[in-house]
Amino acid sequence: MITYKQYHIQRFEQGHRRWVARITRADGQNIRTILPASERPYLDTRPAGSAEEAEGLAKEGIDFGGVF
Instruction: Tell me the per-residue pLDDT of 44-65, one tens digit each, with 9 for 90 and over.
Output: 999 999 999 999 999 999 998 7
Bridge partners of 11, per DSSP, are 21
Q: What is the pLDDT of residues 5-59, one digit of tens each?
A: 999 999 999 888 899 999 999 999 999 887 778 899 999 999 999 999 999 999 9
User: What are the φ and ψ backbone dihedral angles of 29, each rounded to 5 degrees?
Assistant: -75, 165
| CA separation, residue 23 to residues 4, 31, 37, 38, 53 (Å) | 10, 9, 17, 15, 14
pTM for the complete prediction? 0.86
Domain ranges of the chain: 2-64
Nearest to 64 by CA among 26, 56, 41, 52: 56
